[in-house]
Amino acid sequence: MGEIVLKGVTKSFGAVSVIPPLDLTIANGEFVVFVGPSGCGKSTLLRLIAGLEDVSSGVIEIDGKDATAIPPAHRGLAMVFQSYALYPHMTVRNNIAFPLKMARLDKATIDRKVEAAAGVLNLTPYLDRRPGQLSGGQRQRVAIGRAIVREPAAFLFDEPLSNLDAALRVNMRIEISELHSSLATTMIYVTHDQVEAMTMADKIVVLNAGRIEQVGSPLELYSRPRNRFVAGFIGSPR
């Protein structure tokens, strides 16, 4: 579970081509980071994989099955956004439980899964609070908890830390990496921050105007960048 293969995927909005034909294989359990400047198509690519946008052409396979006709809720993927998208009137417990209630699981199962996720994310003391009573980092953990309980084949993160201050970003980076180690689930992580890419990724996909400039491990990209764009992006800390 968790292999994602893109074959000749393209995306246009009207007459504007945002993703030219793109091929990419993400192995089960990999932590893959999409990096590139603002507007290069990172979010679009993630939304195509999630099914929030339809491909213009090409195929996206999830675990060997063509997913392009499968609606987002049935792709077995969980998306985590930077704007937590929590329900402000619901407690942390109910926010995390929400997808399980939608799936009509029984209460005992829901409680067990919510408490397990809260334990992993250090949210146990906050289960009865509402999002407004939490810090930014805690809110982001609730959003991740809501993804975890669905036991997805892959997690899709779209710049999840960009609303957090620098110190918290470093902590959350470590927490997400630890979560990846313990769950061993595929994670695709979008960022424009090369430090995040270098420290978190098994594999980095460098995007430029919707095109893949290079795919490789952080070390490969750092030591053998294919061109000036990659070198400039990976080599220069901001």
| Interface residues toward ligand ADP, by CB under 6 A | 13, 18, 36, 38-44
Residues 6+ apart with CB under 8 A from 133: 126
Walk across the sheet containing 57-62 and list its strands.
16-26, 4-13, 57-62, 65-66
Q: Hey, what's the torsion of the CAs at 70, 113, 144, 27, to 10 degrees?
A: -50
Residue 161 binding: pick among Mg ion, ligand ADP, none (C-beta 5-8 Å cut-off by kind): none
Q: Which is nearer to Mg ion, 40 or 149 (CB)?
A: 40
Query: Using CA atoms, how far apart are residues 42 and 15, in angstroms rounded to an integer?
Result: 19
**39 versus 232: smaller Cβ distance to ligand ADP:** 39
Shortest separation between residue 53's beta carbon and Mg ion, angstroms:
12
Dist CA 109 CA 238 (whole Å): 46
Q: 8 or 39: whose CB is closer to ligand ADP?
A: 39
Residue 42: CB minimum distance to Mg ion, A: 5
Q: Where does residue 76 rank: exposed (0-12), middle (13-18), buried (19+ CB within 10 A)?
A: middle
**Minimum distance from CB of 130 to ligand ADP (Å)?**
30
**Counts of helices then strands in the chain (DSSP H, E):** 8, 10
User: Which does residue 13 touch among ligand ADP, Mg ion, none (CB within 5 to 8 A, set by kind)?
Assistant: ligand ADP
Of the pair 95, 214, the CB lying nearest ligand ADP is at 214
In the complex, the smallest distance separating the C-beta of residue 211 from ligand ADP, rounded to whole angstroms, is 12
Nearer to Mg ion, 9 or 96 (CB): 9
Minimum distance from residue 19 beta carbon to ligand ADP (Å) = 8
Indicate which of ligand ADP, Mg ion, none lies near residue 40 (CB less than 5 to 8 Å, by partner kind): ligand ADP
Which residue carries 């490969």 as its tokens?
Answer: 220
Q: Which is nearer to ligand ADP, 38 or 181 (CB)?
A: 38
Least distance CB 192 / ligand ADP (angstroms): 7
Cα 30 versus chain centre, distance: 12
Closest Cα partner for 192 from 234, 228, 154?
Answer: 234
- Residue 41: contacted member of Mg ion, ligand ADP, none (CB under 5 to 8 Å, by partner type): ligand ADP
Residue 182 contact partner, candidates Mg ion, ligand ADP, none, CB within 5 to 8 A by sort of partner: none
Residues in the chain: 238
Q: Which of 138, 157, 158 is nearest to 92 (CA)?
A: 138
Binding site for Mg ion (CB under 5 A): 43
